Amino acid sequence: MKKTKATKRSKTADQSHASKPYWEMTTAELREATKEFDQEFIGETFRPATPQELARFERARKRGRPRNGLGAKTISVTVEKRLLAQTDRLAKKLQVPRAALIARGLQAVVNAEVSV
């Protein structure tokens, strides 16, 4: 029963909100539109998340760059302007990020030195 009442209140609040933005409401209208938030212990009315909702939450929580190797480290490197412009043009032509192109170049140099 409580959930039904809360649902009815939510619809009323949504309808009030849809008809007029909060900043244009009178005090009485605002009080009516937001009264669902006056309940104490509203968290007790929540249901457990479904497996699909949990999976969606985990996907959202793990956003960010994919981890390669041991992960990435941000560094500051000074590069001559002309070389940087050439690097940017090549990265655009190859359709790769600048950082990926620089990483490929560093890896090539390291591999060449290690094999010598």
Question: How far apart, in whole angstroms, are the C-alpha atoms of residue 68 and residue 37?
Answer: 45
What's the pLDDT band for 16 if we cut at 50, 70, 90? Answer: very low
In percent, the amount of the chain with pLDDT more than 70 equals 83
Domain ranges of the chain: 2-61, 66-116
Contacts made by residues 110-113, CB under 8 angstroms, sequence distance 24+: none
Instruction: Name the percent of the chain lying above pLDDT 90.
Output: 50
pLDDT value of residue 37: 82
CATH topology of domain 66-116: Arc Repressor Mutant (1.10.1220)
pTM: 0.45
